[in-house]
Chains A and B, each alone.
Chain A
């Protein structure tokens, strides 16, 4: 077997799309989306999976830094390939630079269908809060939890229907009293994760090695400089309706 992928359920739409697009036939082990809130548990779960894999040339980890969950992972049976991105938002936007640029414009909460739908996604938690605390208090909780965010961005990764998510995102935006915009995603980083070349945007940890901070924390000054030069492609939820409708 050439390679094996371990990935977070949260980006399953996009990764499955990248697998179809690139034509790779690597199997995928999915980890629970909820683990991203508990980096130590995520690390333990990943190490457990890695330790039980043999007879592959590479193990591809489709994750961001995920609260340092990758830090300390040991490459046992095969080299590990890790994207040098802070979190999976960069993977969905196509680059760390795009993520920094959008985030530096306004404090932004990013969404995809995965973030809306999976257990412990923002919407699931909101619905749980309504049943546990009632509508009014659930609204208050959401506003306090996300009080410092100035906008929502739904990333149009092309891997799911924006129209199917529109209403849910609009409800959330209204509760929070902030705007929602749509940003074009890009699968280029995911494609390169699957196919290579694994350039400075990726770290390759050889067999017997361990993931260190140097493998993960990108050279921020360089990335920020690139981010300043890039341009955005944003539109509002209403504009998007006109475009698509």
Chain B
């Protein structure tokens, strides 16, 4: 997937090629998971992940979730157009220590910001690491108030692993 991402960035691959590669990856990962006797479907949720309200872009999110799961992270996919309330409810329900939000539209920044504000109001902000992805950068991060921003899933996985270790979920088998 790293090579596919590189080819896309170079302009050799188009969005549809990313999609095909992602589908192949997901199917292979599904087969591996089915063979993996150590996979525990009831393990605690590490990451709540969704595309924010008023945004429906999810190709990157779906690819990221597949890769995160393949390295051992337990991820809940909230889908697209997820309201701040729904994100917070899921964080409260699962106790996940990581919230990942993505969006490609400019307006998505306001909903990322609103979600983080609601997280603060719910008293969960301190215990929840917030990552944002999509068309984001330092400026967006400081606007919305997230802890991290990422452009690639490898970095996202590294951050999630570090956060989980910090939160003493050391028993989680993350490759």
Contact A125 to B106, CB < 8 A, known contacts A38-B9, A67-B135: no
In whole Å, how far is A87's beta carbon from the nearest beta carbon of chain B?
A: 7
Query: Is A148's CB under 8 angstroms from B58's CB?
Result: yes
**A 133-153 contacts with B by CB, 8 A:** 133, 138, 141-142, 144-145, 148-149
Chain B residues near A38 (CB, 8 Å)?
9, 11
Contacts of A34 in B (CB 8 A): 11
Per-position binary interface string of chain B over residues 129-144, scored 1 when its CB falls under 8 Å from any chain A CB and 0 otherwise: 0000001110110010
User: Does A128 touch B at the CB level, under 8 Å?
Assistant: yes
Is the CB of A107 closer than 8 A to any CB of chain B?
Answer: yes
B56 contacts A120, CB within 8 Å? Answer: no
A100 cross-chain contacts in B, Cβ below 8 A = 107
- Among the listed stretches B12-20, B30-38, B90-98, B155-163, which one makes contact with chain A, having 4 or more residues with CB under 8 Å of it? B12-20
* B143 neighbours in A (Cβ, 8 Å): 213, 217
In the complex, the answer to whether A148 meets B14 with C-beta atoms within 8 Å is no
Taking CB atoms, residues of chain B closer than 8 Å to A104 are: 54
CB contacts (< 8 Å) of B20 on chain A: these are 133, 141
Q: Tell me the minimal C-beta distance from B58 to chain A in angstroms.
A: 7
Contact present for B14 and A120 (CB under 8 Å): yes
Contact partners of A128 in chain B: CB under 8 A: 14, 16
Q: Are B109 and A141 in contact (CB under 8 A)?
A: no
Chain A's closest residue to B143 (CB) is: A213
Q: Quote the shortest CB–CB distance from B82 to chain A (angstroms).
A: 12
Tell me how far the C-beta of B34 lies from the nearest C-beta in chain A, rounded to whole angstroms.
22
Q: Which of B15, B106, B107, B136 has the most chain A CB atoms closer than 10 A to its own CB?
A: B106
> How many chain-B residues does the 8 Å CB contact rule pick out?
27
> Of B9, B15, B19, B106, which one neighbours A86 at CB under 8 angstroms?
B106
Whether A220 and B107, one on each chain, are in contact in the complex, defined by CB atoms closer than 8 angstroms, is: yes
**Are A87 and B106 CB-contacts (below 8 A) given A129-B16, A145-B59?**
yes
| Nearest-CB residue, chain A, relative to B106 | A86
B28 close to A (CB within 8 Å): no
Q: Are A125 and B14 in contact (CB under 8 A)?
A: yes
Q: Is A216 an interface residue (CB 8 A)?
A: yes
Please report which residues of chain A, range 13-48, place their CB below 8 angstroms from some CB of chain B when the two chains form the complex.
34, 37-39
In the assembled complex, the Cα of A87 lies from the Cα of B106 at a distance in Å of 8
**Interface contact B15-A145, CB-CB below 8 Å:** yes
Give the A interface residue count (CB, 8 A). 32
Q: Taking the complex as formed, is B104 at the interface, i.e. its CB lies under 8 A from any CB of chain A?
A: yes
Contacts of B135 in A (CB 8 A): 39, 67-68
Query: CB-CB < 8 A to A149: which residues of B?
Result: 56
Let me know if B7 is at the binding interface, CB within 8 A: no
Task: Give the residues from 76 to 128 in chain B that come closer than 8 angstroms, CB to CB, to chain A.
Answer: 80-81, 104-107, 109-110
Convert A216-240 into 0s and 1s, putting 1 for each residue whose CB lies closer than 8 angstroms to a CB of B. 1100100000000000000000000
Q: Which of A24-79 contact B (CB under 8 A)?
A: 34, 37-39, 65, 67-68, 71-72
A71 in contact with B139 (CB, 8 Å): yes
Beyond contacts A71-B137, A133-B20: 19 other A-B pairs, Cβ-Cβ < 8 A, are A34-B11, A37-B15, A39-B135, A67-B135, A68-B106, A68-B139, A87-B105, A125-B15, A128-B14, A141-B19, A145-B59, A148-B56, A148-B80, A148-B81, A212-B139, A216-B106, A217-B106, A220-B107, A220-B110
**Which residues in B have some Cβ–Cβ distance to A below 8 Å?**
9, 11, 14-16, 19-20, 23, 54, 56-59, 80-81, 104-107, 109-110, 135-137, 139-140, 143
- Residues in chain A within 8 A of chain B (CB atoms): 34, 37-39, 65, 67-68, 71-72, 86-87, 100, 103-104, 107, 120, 125, 128-129, 133, 138, 141-142, 144-145, 148-149, 212-213, 216-217, 220
Interface pairs (6), CB distance under 8 Å: A65-B106, A87-B106, A120-B14, A125-B15, A128-B16, A213-B143
Question: Which A-B residue pairs are the 10 nearest by beta carbons?
Answer: A148-B56, A86-B106, A67-B135, A141-B16, A65-B106, A213-B139, A107-B56, A129-B16, A220-B110, A148-B80
